[in-house]
Amino acid sequence: MLRRDLVMRRLALAAALAFASGAALAGTVTVITSFPKELTAAYKAAFEKANPDIKVEILNKNTVAGIAFVRETAAGQRPDVFWASAPDAFEVLKRDNLLLAAPDVDNKAIPAKIGSYPINDPKGFYKGQATTKLGDWFMFDLGIATQSLCLAACNLGLGTVIVGSIDHDKAKDVLGVGEGYELVALIPVGYPAKESAAPKRREISEFTHSDKF
């Protein structure tokens, strides 16, 4: 029967941590994840090829459902690995004593922090991993959220402006931003004093491409 710590060392490829409850079946590691099959299938295939004596079982659930599943499953029957993109999910599992610390599982290619936000739990309860070669991909998601907020404000007759050229640390202090959060931009919101004409834009054909660049 495989030792649990050995399984976890070898599962570092998936950059997730084992649950504090019972061991997995011999030769099987169960992963609960919100990531799509297109992504997890590649990890599963690569891991099983490198470790032919271990099979990976994927349970696909959204993050909220995954947390509920772990809580409701009896100790000894819970999945071995929780793999998701939401850091707060791991904080919830850690708070509820549902994670097992594995400080020796590490990925040297991943930076310790993005800005001042730690990627890994200081005590090794969870680890971060970049799923693309662009380590700051979260900024893409942040841009989408920022645009959505500004569009929603416009629909309500409000004006916005995205401000990123600021003293981030001082702004965090003034606003009382708590530890573990990073301030990226400010978006002042208010009623416009006047209607302003949009600046001249480039023609779409100047920066779009069809089929190839």
pLDDT digits (tens, 9 = 90+) for 83-93: 887 777 888 89
What was the pLDDT predicted at 177?
A: 87
Based on the fold, state whether residues 165 and 62 are members of the same structural domain.
no
% of the chain with per-residue pLDDT over 70? 78
| Residues listed for the chain | 213
Choice among 51-55, 75-79, 118-122 with the minimum mean pLDDT: 118-122
What was the pLDDT predicted at 136?
A: 65
51, 85, 118 — which closes off a domain?
118
Average pLDDT of span 144-172? 93
- Is residue 128 included in any domain, yes or no? no
Q: Is the pTM of this model over 0.85?
A: no
Based on the fold, state whether residues 114 and 191 are members of the same structural domain.
no
Based on the fold, state whether residues 16 and 110 are members of the same structural domain.
yes
- Is residue 131 included in any domain, yes or no? no
Question: Which residue range(s) make up the domain with 202?
Answer: 138-206
- Is residue 145 included in any domain, yes or no? yes
Based on the fold, state whether residues 36 and 84 are members of the same structural domain.
yes
Do 10 and 19 meet the contact criterion of CB atoms below 8 Å apart? Answer: no
What was the pLDDT predicted at 173?
A: 92
106 pLDDT exceeds 80?
no
118, 147, 169 — which closes off a domain?
118
What was the pLDDT predicted at 71?
A: 92
Beta strands in 6-112 (DSSP E): 17-18, 28-33, 55-60, 81-83
The residue with greater pLDDT, 19 or 210, is: 210
What was the pLDDT predicted at 65?
A: 92
Whole-angstrom Cα distance, residue 138 to residue 135? 8
What's the CATH code of the domain at 113? 3.40.190.10
The owner of tokens 């609960």 is 32
Choice among 14-18, 93-97, 173-177, 195-199 with the minimum mean pLDDT: 14-18
- Is residue 212 included in any domain, yes or no? no
Backbone dihedral angles phi then psi of residue 164, each to the nearest 5 degrees: -115, -15
Based on the fold, state whether residues 104 and 17 are members of the same structural domain.
yes
Based on the fold, state whether residues 54 and 92 are members of the same structural domain.
yes
- Is residue 178 included in any domain, yes or no? yes
What's the CATH code of the domain at 176? 3.40.109.10
Do 117 and 183 meet the contact criterion of CB atoms below 8 Å apart? Answer: no
- Is residue 124 included in any domain, yes or no? no
Structural domain count, the chain: 2
Based on the fold, state whether residues 113 and 10 are members of the same structural domain.
yes
Based on the fold, state whether residues 99 and 147 are members of the same structural domain.
no
Based on the fold, state whether residues 14 and 71 are members of the same structural domain.
yes
Radius of gyration of the chain (CA): 22
- Is residue 54 included in any domain, yes or no? yes
Based on the fold, state whether residues 112 and 143 are members of the same structural domain.
no
Based on the fold, state whether residues 60 and 15 are members of the same structural domain.
yes
Average pLDDT of span 174-198? 87
Based on the fold, state whether residues 103 and 38 are members of the same structural domain.
yes
